[in-house]
Amino acid sequence: MERLYTVDGEGLKRELLDLRGKINGRPITFLCIGTDRSTGDALGPLVGTALSNAGYERVIGTLASPCDANTLPAWMTELAAVPAGAEAVVAIDAALGRPESVGRFQVTHVPMLPGASMGRNLPPVGDYGIAGIVNGNGIKSYAILQNTSLHRVMTMADTIVHAITAAFPR
C-alpha cells in the first residue's frame, strides 16, 4: 500500500518531475474531476480549463464541460477503450482532509478514488492522482465543500497548473 503524505507547491512540482520518469514519454490524459456548481469541488475543472487554454490537447473536465459523478462513467468507458499502457491518465480532484493539510497536495502513483471524502462510492480512476486538499473534513462534507474559499481553490488550481507545465511541458 502506498504511503500518503502531503506536499506544498514546490513539493508538488518535485513529485510531478519524479512522475515524469515513471510515465516515460507516454501521452498523458489529464482527468480533471469536479463540478463548477460547488466552490470546493471546482478545483479539477479550474485546472482542466487552464490546461486546455495552455494548449494541452488531452484534457477531460473543464468549467464548460465538467467531469463529475454523472459524467465520469462515460469518460471511464472511453478511457477503457485505450490499450493498457498506451497512455498515462493523471486524475486531479479536490479532497477534504486534516485541518493542518488544507492548501496542500497529495500525489499518488495508484488510481485515486474520486468523491471518497464525500462518502461517494465511485470507481478508482487514473494511473496517478493529484488531490488538492481544499478544506478540512467534517460531518457535513457537502456543506464544507460549498463553503470553501474560492480564493484558496483558485490559488491551488494555479499551483497545480504551474507544477504540471513545469513537469510536462507541451
pLDDT per position as a tens digit, 131-166 = 999 999 988 888 999 999 999 999 999 999 999 999
CB 116 within 8 A of CB 145: no
At the topology level, CATH places domain 4-167 in: Rossmann fold (3.40.50)
pLDDT per position as a tens digit, 25-53 = 999 999 999 999 999 999 999 999 999 99
Report domain extents, the chain: 4-167
Q: Cα separation of 148 and 40, whole Å?
A: 5
What are the angstrom distances between the C-alpha of 79 and each of 17, 40, 135, 139, 168?
24, 26, 30, 34, 20
Q: Which residue has the cell 471546482?
A: 42
Alpha helices (H) in 1-149, listed in sequence order: 9-23, 43-53, 72-80, 141-146
Supply the pTM of this predicted model: 0.94
**CA-based diameter of the chain, in Å?**
42
